[in-house]
Amino acid sequence: MLFEDPHKPLRDDVRLLGTLLGETLRRQEGDALFERVERVRGLAKRARRGDAEASRRAFDQLAGELADMPVDAALPIARAFAHFLNLANVAEQHHRVRRRRAYQRNPHAHAQPASIEEALPRLITAGVPAAALHSAVCSLRIELVITAHPTEIMRRTLQIKYNAVADALAGLDRLDATPLERETLIETLRREITAAWETEEIRRGRPSPLDEVRSALAIFDQTLWNAVPEYLRSLDRALRGATGRGLPIEAAPIRFGSWIGGDRDGNPAVTAEVTRRACLASRWTALSLYAREIERLREELSMNDASDVLLARVGGAHEPYRALLRDVQRGVEQTRRHVEDQLSLRAKRAGLRGEEIYSTAAQLAEPLRLCFDSLNATGNGLIANGRLADVLRRLSAFGLTLVRLDVRQEAERHTEAIELIARRMGRPGYGDWSEEERIEFLTNALADVTRVPADLPHNPRTSDVLQTFDALASMPAESLGAYIITMASRPSDVLAVELLQRRAGLAPPLRVVPLFETARDLRASGGVIDVLLLIPWYRDRVRRAGDRQEVMIGYSDSAKELGRVAAAWELYTAQESIVSACAAHGVALTLFHGRGGSVGRGGGPTYLAIQSQPPGSVDGTLRVTEQGEMIQAKFGLPGIAVRTLEVYTTATLNAALAKPRAIDPRWRSVMDRLAASAHAAFRQVVHDDPRFPSYFRAATPEAELDALHIGSRPARRPGGGLSALRAIPWQFAWTQTRLLLASWLGAEVMLPSSEEERGAYREMYRDWPFFRSMVDLLQMALAKADEGIAAHYDRHLVPDDLQPLASSLRVRLQRATAAVLAITGHDRLLADALVLRRSIDVRNPYVDPINLVQVDLLRRLTALRSVLTDDGSGEESRAHDIAVLRAALMVTINGIAAGMRNTG
């Protein structure tokens, strides 16, 4: 398969799914809809082919076909194309798994790039000593942090159905499948596609934070629970082959964190009780999974031969492994019942069914390790390294909680709480103090926490903050991760959280992680860390915690403030300054990257992103957020999940072992100039042009996004205007119109003005991973953008007085595209990524009709609302019509998101 046409099976799958969807349309809706969808599809394909004039005529005909169509006629057309795009996504995901298996199956093929089998031998060949490589792998500490950022538009109900479609496609790949088995699988596809068609795409209500917790935990149950041991077995084999030594059973290169139920920044629905229940739900799920595994171990470990230590433990019982595991299973079940009691909403139930037996992962691991050692000691290592080894490796990776919950809150909320404490201690006005005064007060209070008052006057805002710390103090330490401070800008922001933790009695205290995300705060970040580490109390705190400082950098808000190009450089130089500050104090650094799924929010290919970090910023430790639609994309199928874990491992390992390379000072000068020019261009449009807010509201469906009920967090911060709009809906809105302005605006200044400049850019693109990554991510965004579709939105939705602005933005898009082509030396975007280019080209004719339907719905919605404003008569009827239009609009938003493979 690798040496023929590797993508023919994908085309066959897409064709099969399209045929079955067509059958579904005929069967469920009738021939008329099917024929109309086919007519629209034919026009859309013609609009993407041939010369410019023929394409324009086909596009106009397509737009005419879809214009002014009754909603009940337009809606099923949009749904049909949206369902096809979702099915194509499933086929592409499955094909990634198929390609991975093809690499592994073919003995004559090179190992898959960025796989463990490729990376470890390559590093040995490059001169890394075997002992150093083994140590580096065993020392890896990567944490993937699942967040509930509202970018997953697809309902969990539909995800389950599409996963069943993927499973059926996998069954059809079996060469030994009988005709009856194949027909059964085809029937399964028909059934799942029909069920998906008959299911509402849009959530009726906004999910609660605990709904989001349950959805996230489902990913662990369905894929990651089995993907992690498979990945670790693969790593063990490759490491043994490359270095002669395997992966220790307790090693966990990748662990998992979560913000879901702990992220209260801008989300009033996340309360102290929600955080407590999120921790318990995670613990209950983990215990349920371990109970299932230990039951299977009891069935499997039926042998009698055991070590003296194990025999003594069970009093010489027959089938000693089963005897020990029987007690272990009882302990796990009792611990799970104890957690259930704590989760119960029934009064006084907590604790009725006994105390927990296992409060830490080490307690559960001890008897299992005893079995493991006994099997190895009695010549049964082959058995030990099966299911039992997998359970022990899961305990190392997941603990008893699956994920460690981070808590996130904005700095100002902590300032308000400290203000209350200081006033109670006779020192009012904390919020007006200088930074030096704040540090002095906080360090003195930290030196003797007993002086800090426990009883404080009630204040709703501060009470919520203080109750959160009280709740954290009652939770098992292994359930908790870090405390993230949003909008951190000064050392006292960190010290404030340290004091609030100790006042509540958290032992051990959580890691306190400042999050720098605005341009001003990023520029000051290194200085803030330096001052913190100069404070004796804090330096001692870091020393006692292992001499490691964690710092988070935010990609979303910096890009929304500065534009993608300027933000990329600010983030790069901020990391350099933080690395330098920590090194000056002899402190190791863990950088926590708050990336989104889209290019405009720091997203992009994992391997490329990690390799482009500044020298010294990745020392084998890494934390990174995985959010929204990227969770399903990266972990929704078992094979994809394993590949994702592999890529994180090899990218981090390569970055950690790479020899530091000095950056040419000329390149820095070029980037300083480009970043300044790009920021000025971005600011001129977004922040300085008074017409822009009106254009944004007119040209995009931004005002309707909150009705999607994507997540529990509101789309806006308190206040009004663009500054109050969060980065996710900002990005999402531009993705819908296909302008993708948030991902590239400012990049047009990179168009070379001379051959000398072109040569300098190409040298940087060739030799500097950061610059190459930045340009390639721009290239991905620009390839997805479509000037013609964006112009259609402008023509039909934007008032005449804003047309000059709309036109100028499309010119900027042209210049940004020309700039990237000039730098890469290609005549077409993604010339080096033909698979992605082909995917975009195939999708365009299926996304275009949904865009046209959306434009027509937005136009009619705007007109209807203006009538409603001017004339009070017939309000009830018009309100109904508006509701119908909005419901149809939600379907188009869903479909475009599926086609673009991104929301925010």
Three-state SS sequence of 725-751 = ECHHHHHHHHHHHCCCHHHHCCHHHHC
Give dist(CA 817, CA 732) in Å, integer.
21
Instruction: List, in sequence order, every residue forming a beta bridge with 588; answer none if it has no partner.
Output: 548
CA angle 100, 101, 106 (to 5 degrees): 105
Answer whether 55's CB lies under 8 Å from 49's CB.
yes
- Alpha carbon distance, N-terminus to C-terminus of the chain: 36
DSSP 8-state class, residue 708: G
Give dist(CA 746, CA 565) in Å, integer.
7
Q: Residue 377 corresponds to which amino acid?
A: A
Q: Residue 707 corresponds to which amino acid?
A: A
**Nearest by Cα to 772 from 823, 834, 840:** 823
Give dist(CA 722, CA 87) in Å, integer.
35
Give dist(CA 107, CA 85) in Å, integer.
35
For residue 409, give the 3-state DSSP assignment.
strand
For residue 481, give the 3-state DSSP assignment.
strand
For residue 901, give the 3-state DSSP assignment.
coil
Instruction: List, in sequence order, every residue forming a beta bridge with 409; answer none if it has no partner.
Output: 485
For residue 904, give the 3-state DSSP assignment.
coil
Token pair belonging to 809 = 């933005």
**Any idea which residue has 């999940």 for tokens?**
641
**Nearest by Cα to 230 from 373, 97, 91:** 97
Q: Is 144 left (phi over 0), alpha (psi -120 to 50) or beta?
A: beta
Answer whether 885's CB lies under 8 Å from 860's CB.
yes
One-character DSSP codes across 829-891: TTTT-HHHHHHHHHHHHHHHHHHHHHHHHHHHHHHHHHHHHH--TTHHHHHHHHHHHHHHHHH
One-character DSSP codes across 222-263: IIIHHHHHHHHHHHHHHHHHHHS----TT--SEEEEE-TTTB
Q: What's the count of helices (H) and strands (E) in the chain, helices before strands?
A: 37, 8
Residues annotated as catalytic are 149, 560
Query: Which residues have a Cβ under 8 Å from the Cβ of 577 and sit 6 or more positions away?
Result: 525, 526, 527
Answer whether 342's CB lies under 8 Å from 359's CB.
no
Pairing of strands 141-147, 621-627: parallel
**Any idea which residue has 């990634």 for tokens?**
96
Give me the phi and psi of 15, to 5 degrees please: -65, -45
CA 700 to chain CA centroid, Å, is 24
Instruction: List, in sequence order, every residue forming a beta bridge with 407; answer none if it has no partner.
Output: 483
Instruction: List, in sequence order, every residue forming a beta bridge with 511; answer none if it has no partner.
Output: 482
Give me the phi and psi of 482, to 5 degrees please: -120, 165
Give me the phi and psi of 554, to 5 degrees please: -105, 130
For 3-38, b where at least 16 C-beta lie within 10 A, e where not — what string?
Answer: eeeebebbeebbebbbebbbebbeeeeeeebbebbe
Answer whether 117's CB lies under 8 Å from 238's CB.
yes
- From the number of C-beta atoms within 10 Å of its C-beta (0-12, 13-18, 19+), residue 643 rates as buried
